[in-house]
Amino acid sequence: MNVFHKVTIETVKKNKVRTLVTIIGIMLSTALIFSVATTLYSFICFGKDMAIYNSGDWHGVAAPLTQDRVDELRDDSKIDEVFCLGAVGYADTGVKLHTEMKSYKYMVIAADEKCFENLPYHLKSGRYPENDSEIIISDIYFENNIDDAFRAAGKGEIGIGSTIDMDMTIDISGGIGDILTEEPDEEMLMEKASEITGTHKTYTIVGIYEQPYISEIMEGDWNNINCLTMGDSSSGSGIYTAFFKMKKAGNVGDYLNQHFNFNEERNAGISTATNDELLAYSLSGGKADAGFLMSVFLIGSIVFGIIIFGSVALIYNAFAISVSERTKQFGLLSSIGATKKQINKMIEFEALLLSLIGIPLGILLGYCGIGITFKALSTRFDTITKMISDSNPVPFKLHVSWIVILISILVAEFTVRLSAWIPSVRAQRISAVEAIRQSGDIKAKNKKIRTPKIIYKLFGLPGVLAQKYFKRSKKRYRATVWSLFMSITLFISAYAFTTGLVRSVEEEMGTEHYDIQYLTSFNDDESADKLFAKLKDADEVYEAACSEYIEMRANADEDVINSEANDVFHYTSVTESTDKTVETVVFFVDDDTYRDFLKENGYDTDKYMDPEHPMALTYDIHEEYDIVDSKTFKYHIFDSDDEKKVKIEYDYDPKGYVRDSIADGKIRFVKTAYNVSDDPDEIYLTKEETWVEHDIAVGARLSKRPFFAVGDYYNECTFIFPKSLRDSVIPKHSNYYLYSYTFLSNDHKESYNAIKEIINAEGGDDEFIYDYAAEVEYIRNMVVIIKVFAYGFIVIISLIAAANVFNTISTNIALRRREFAMLRSIGMGTKGLNRMMNFECLLYGGKSLLFGLPISFLIAYFINKGFNSANSDITFELPWKAAIISATSVFIVVFSTMIYSMRKIKKDNPIDALKNENL
């Protein structure tokens, strides 16, 4: 082995503690780099998985294609996989929602096996079809009142197990999907159409799937009930929608341009598209939506930057110390003939050695750390991913790849090399003479250093010495002070950020306080009440309310409006008076709930439940964000709690009819399918005839929205009446009424499921059940997750900084061994030495806090401003807690390092230390 290598290895072995601390520093920064890289990579994978779940696992699509063109695709070497949807045909159901509408059609599409794997046809129940007599049916059937229409038409229920007889045709006006609606090969279609018209097919429903909303596979218009069967469409139209995956995703755009160029005749009528949602995650480019990947890389770069910065500070310091300690050694080697290159290589070798140990261990540490973190947070991640999509089973998991490991190793190695670079340059510059004399290391400044008298008074001579030493060798202590400063700033900033986040979230959440809401409509009160009776008793529900609600406008005289609110109103009333108009919603809440509410809040039940003189409570808080002042203003719309006259107005559809169009100043209403009476199919009414105007009395203003009058009604006024006063307030005109059921629960998940079950059992529509508590939980979980990552990051950076401080201080002390021995030999006792070192500690800690605290407070102020500009309203509070924690930690680290290092020194015999050459 090369002698220089041997010297380096032995030197490294000799300074066990410093070597260990440096290796730990390398490990920590590698671990951090790896964790960050892996987290970001996991995000990208998650995004990709989500994209696949939502839009499917394919790159490009072309349609309509004949079998020949499909085969061409399959044979192309650039194509990895091809799977097709084929049109089998349409079948009339004979059911209409309205007389004016077209009747619903079954649209049967054949899909091969790969389609079910790669396209987002997610089963809600049942299974996939296994042959061409089985179908799965789209859940569209259960929406848009299609199932009601079926029932109304006497066709009963269809579901899993049902068989459907279909007379198949091809309807070329409908086409298959957006893509296919442009000029399909009419001739061929007509041919096929005449072939299969009148073909009878019987299908068995084996599953229900969630209708995907992607235009490339949107099948026709909303009157189609889509059904998927297994197989190709050779029995049908012979036209295909071909999805394909390229071997290299990035080339799909070019491929489509080349092979499906619309200028070529054979491509006439063929449309193509790319799966942009998935391609956005393709690292090989493609039609990448740079946005997401860019933000990931941007965040990654910033975080990497911080890590590298902090790590370089530590590792650089370690090498600087190493060089400094070996100054004499390098000088000696230089004097007996070592070249600069050889000296440089020694440091490079040291860097390599420490990397070889530190980096692999760091990767391992990082893997364990981030693995444990992900596992611990997995339930919280789940609540968040479920929020994104109710039925989305894509979990946010840890993904590790070899590329990520390689990148981490390279970045870590780069960090170490960068850190060793300056010290190695310095080492080369050491002149043999300087080194031998060792005069270079302590380059004291020549200028006069004044020490304030107070230091002498408090700390005596030791203090003065400490002060002089500190001031004359600033460079040496720069690293220590800088590391501490960085940790303090990062810690306090992270604290300010997470606190601000929590406060703004709580402020946002604070306005609503209900757990679950269910919105639906009924034709009559009895049905609503019947359901309410059942829902009240759902599992874990402890309070429930049933309210009918109507959205309308309200006019009130200027006199009763709060002057502050004057600017809110921009609408002019129909009557063009001095009245002010505001959008409102009126709630008619069940009497029991209302009575309890009045009692709990000290309102007079007689006053507010008097059928002779109905009076509403109002929640009239208006929130406005002022960009100029960066503040949110809140005020009441009405100026007092006294009784006020308010005129409400709205328009309605007559019972049994639905609004269709406007012609000649009159509104045309058509009979609904439910209206089985002898009423005319259409009626014409003027606006005034369908217009309601009514005076109501409004009383006390509420400052908190009650749980039974909630919803998406920001900046609107809410009036609340008991249900019993419904008819005296607003006469019933309409054909259906909107209801809101709200619940408070001890376990929102259980209640949500129970409520859903009850609704389904009663034959209701479970689409608009809203688990608000879940959203709150989701946001809270987000905050926890952000906190975990933020603090985890800070803690590790701080450990790196602490290691740095330890290294610097302990080595500086070691280098001053002779000096301490000299001081002891001329009579300074242990107490004096201690005082000197304690004072030095105060100087380090003090200096870093002197810069760190004001700058951190400034950063905290800007963070607070940032939150407020994003629509929060939090007053700025100085992060005292964080400041105290960081100050305490700084002094703990500094003092404990000092105590540890001095322990060795104190055992020295001063004379031996002075004489000993081999220190």
Partner 1 sequence: MRMRYTHWIMYPSQLKKGEFVAIIGPSGSGKSTLLHALGGVDKPTSGKVWMNGSDVYAQNDEQLAIFRRRQVGLIYQFYNLIPVLNVTENITLPVLMDGREVNKQRLEELLNLLKLKGREDHLPNQLSGGQQQRVSIGRALMNAPAVMLADEPTGNLDSKNSQEIIELLKLSNEKYDQTLIIITHDENIALQADRIIAIEDGRITRDEVIRK
Instruction: Please identify, using beta-carbon distances, which residue of 118 and 342 lies nearer to partner 1.
Output: 342
What's the min distance (Å) between Cβ of 807 and partner 1?
20
What's the min distance (Å) between Cβ of 431 and partner 1?
7
Instruction: Please identify, using beta-carbon distances, which residue of 324 and 498 lies nearer to partner 1.
Output: 324
What's the min distance (Å) between Cβ of 823 and partner 1?
22
- Residue numbers 85-114 binding partner 1 by CB under 8 A: none
When binding is defined by CB under 8 A, the residue of 152, 432, 790, 814 that contacts partner 1 is 432
Give the residues across from 62 on adjacent strands.
Answer: 242, 272
Q: Among 662, 639, 9, which residue's Cα sits nearest to residue 346?
A: 9
When binding is defined by CB under 8 A, the residue of 306, 353, 377, 436 that contacts partner 1 is 436
What's the min distance (Å) between Cβ of 914 and partner 1?
13
What's the min distance (Å) between Cβ of 354 and partner 1?
17
For residue 402, how many other CB atoms are within 10 A of its CB? 7
918 interacts with partner 1 by CB under 8 A: yes
- Residue numbers 712-731 binding partner 1 by CB under 8 A: none
Q: Among 325, 133, 102, which residue's Cα sits nearest to residue 225?
A: 102
Residue 263 makes CB contacts below 8 A (sequence gap 6+) with: none
Give the residues across from 204 on adjacent strands.
Answer: 134, 163
Distances (CA, A) of 907 to 839, 902, 903, 904: 21, 9, 7, 6
What's the min distance (Å) between Cβ of 850 and partner 1?
39
Instruction: Please identify, using beta-carbon distances, which residue of 15 and 235 lies nearer to partner 1.
Output: 15
Distances (CA, A) of 644 to 422, 561, 609, 715: 79, 10, 16, 20
When binding is defined by CB under 8 A, the residue of 38, 324, 327, 329 that contacts partner 1 is 329
Distances (CA, A) of 911 to 462, 814, 824: 21, 16, 9
Widest CA span in the chain: 120
What's the min distance (Å) between Cβ of 821 and partner 1?
16
What's the min distance (Å) between Cβ of 435 and partner 1?
10
431 interacts with partner 1 by CB under 8 A: yes
Joined together, the tokens standing for residue 763 give 């034959």
Beta strands at 615-619 and 691-702: parallel, antiparallel or unpaired: parallel
917 interacts with partner 1 by CB under 8 A: yes
Instruction: Please identify, using beta-carbon distances, which residue of 18 and 622 lies nearer to partner 1.
Output: 18
Beta strands at 644-651 and 691-702: parallel, antiparallel or unpaired: antiparallel
Instruction: Please identify, using beta-carbon distances, which residue of 258 and 916 lies nearer to partner 1.
Output: 916
Instruction: Please identify, using beta-carbon distances, which residue of 178 and 325 lies nearer to partner 1.
Output: 325
CA dihedral 621, 622, 623, 626 (to 10 degrees): -140
When binding is defined by CB under 8 A, the residue of 78, 151, 287, 328 that contacts partner 1 is 328
- Residue numbers 1-20 binding partner 1 by CB under 8 A: 2-4, 6-7, 10-11, 13-14
Joined together, the tokens standing for residue 200 give 């009878």
Instruction: Please identify, using beta-carbon distances, which residue of 341 and 534 lies nearer to partner 1.
Output: 341
What's the min distance (Å) between Cβ of 423 and partner 1?
19
429 interacts with partner 1 by CB under 8 A: no
Rg of the chain's alpha carbons, rounded to an integer? Answer: 38
Q: What stretches of 326-473 show up as alpha helix (H) in DSSP?
A: 327-335, 340-388, 402-429, 432-437, 453-472
Burial class (CB in 10 A: 0-12, 13-18, 19+), 528: buried
Instruction: Please identify, using beta-carbon distances, which residue of 11 and 753 lies nearer to partner 1.
Output: 11
Joined together, the tokens standing for residue 148 give 């009601």
Joined together, the tokens standing for residue 868 give 């407020």
Instruction: Please identify, using beta-carbon distances, which residue of 247 and 341 lies nearer to partner 1.
Output: 341
Instruction: Please identify, using beta-carbon distances, which residue of 329 and 672 lies nearer to partner 1.
Output: 329
CA distance 399 to 401: 7
Contact 547, 709 (CB under 8 A): yes
Distances (CA, A) of 139 to 136, 144, 226, 227, 726: 9, 10, 9, 10, 36
- Residue numbers 586-625 binding partner 1 by CB under 8 A: none
| Residues contacting partner 1: total by CB under 8 A | 28
What's the min distance (Å) between Cβ of 248 and partner 1?
50
Instruction: Please identify, using beta-carbon distances, which residue of 311 and 334 lies nearer to partner 1.
Output: 334
CA distance 731 to 212: 42
What's the min distance (Å) between Cβ of 845 and partner 1?
35
Instruction: Please identify, using beta-carbon distances, which residue of 10 and 68 lies nearer to partner 1.
Output: 10
What's the min distance (Å) between Cβ of 901 and partner 1?
21
Residue 918 makes CB contacts below 8 A (sequence gap 6+) with: none
- Return the SS3 of 403: helix
What's the min distance (Å) between Cβ of 343 and partner 1?
9
For residue 510, how many other CB atoms are within 10 A of its CB? 9
247 interacts with partner 1 by CB under 8 A: no
What's the min distance (Å) between Cβ of 472 and partner 1?
21
3-state SS, one letter per residue, for 860-917: HHHHHHHHHHCCCCCCCCCCHHHHHHHHHHHHHHHHHHHHHHHHHHHCCCHHHHHHCC
Residue 584 makes CB contacts below 8 A (sequence gap 6+) with: 551, 552, 553, 554, 648, 716, 717, 718, 719
- Residue numbers 43-82 binding partner 1 by CB under 8 A: none
What's the min distance (Å) between Cβ of 341 and partner 1?
7
- Residue numbers 332-391 binding partner 1 by CB under 8 A: 332-342
Among the listed ranges 47-55, 431-439, 509-517, 541-549, the one in contact with partner 1 (CB under 8 A) is 431-439
323 interacts with partner 1 by CB under 8 A: no
Supply φ then ψ for residue 210, to 5 degrees. Answer: -80, 125
284 interacts with partner 1 by CB under 8 A: no
**Which residue has tokens 């001081």?**
823
Q: x/- binding map, residues 731-770, to partner 1, per CB under 8 A?
A: ----------------------------------------
What's the min distance (Å) between Cβ of 328 and partner 1?
8
Q: x/- binding map, residues 454-473, to partner 1, per CB under 8 A?
A: --------------------
Contact 529, 732 (CB under 8 A): no
When binding is defined by CB under 8 A, the residue of 290, 433, 795, 884 that contacts partner 1 is 433
**Which residue has tokens 């009157």?**
223
Residues near partner 1 (CB under 8 A) are: 2-4, 6-7, 10-11, 13-14, 328-329, 332-342, 431-433, 436, 917-918
